[in-house]
Amino acid sequence: MVYRRHTDEERCLLFPSTLSGGALNWYCRLPPETVDSFEELRKLFVSQHIFQTDRLHSADNLYTIRQKPDESLRKYTGRFSHEYSCCAEADDKTVLKAFTAGLRDCFFKYMINANTWKTYSEVMAQAYNHASAEARTYQGKLPTVTPYQQVGSGGQIQPNEKTSTFQTVAAHPLPHLMLR
């Protein structure tokens, strides 16, 4: 496939097709014949919209995103992915570490650490599968195991008084029920 660079005029003509909402309204309000180049249009657009975001995004912001106690993997992944899409520069390794750090202690976090998934894309593919299984299994309601508790024999929930972390219940058939 052969790609060609668009001329400055073509880029100016194509630009509005990439806009929607308030950005498109802004473009439509520009007086006719006031922009002489795509570079000028770009500068006008950036100066108008740069501060209309909640904050300037960086990879460091990704480390502030945490999965809420009652939040499904699907919702957390959606919030994280949205923030990641707002980051101008973030390398794959940093994004993957930030995503994993924000997860509650759960079976999926264990799976990330136990497997050889190296890229954010690989983890997102697995997250999709895991979130789909989570939705089918719990039908929108996550299990009610509270932090620092474990499931004992007979299915009773027992506080873990010895440490502030989980102790593995080897005989438990569903290790993902030991949620944080």
pTM for this prediction: 0.52
Pairing state of beta strands 157-159 and 149-151? Answer: antiparallel
Whether 135 contacts 72, CB under 8 Å: yes
Report the pLDDT value the prediction gives residue 68, as an integer from 0 to 100. Answer: 93
Q: Is residue 155 part of a domain?
A: no
Domain assignment of residue 148, yes or no: no
Please indicate whether residue 146 or residue 101 has the higher confidence score (pLDDT): 101
Q: What is the DSSP string of the chain?
A: ----PPPHHHHHHHGGGG--HHHHHHHHTSPTT---SHHHHHHHHHHHHTTSSSS---HHHHTT----TT--HHHHHHHHHHHHHT-SS--HHHHHHHHHHHS-SSHHHHHHHHS---SHHHHHHHHHHHHHHHHHHHTT----PPTTEEE-GGG-EEE--S-SS----TT-S-GGGS--
Does residue 76 have a pLDDT over 90? Answer: yes
Q: Which domain holds residue 42?
A: 8-49
Highest mean pLDDT among 3-17, 72-86, 137-151: 72-86
- The reply to whether 153 falls in a domain is no
> Do the beta carbons of residue 86 and residue 56 sit within 8 Å?
no
Q: pLDDT tens, 7-54?
A: 888 888 888 898 888 888 888 888 888 888 888 888 888 777 666 655
Same domain, 64 and 133: yes
170 located within any domain: no
User: Which tens digits make up the pLDDT trace of 152-162?
Assistant: 445 444 444 44
Q: What is the CATH number of the domain that holds 110?
A: 1.10.1200.30
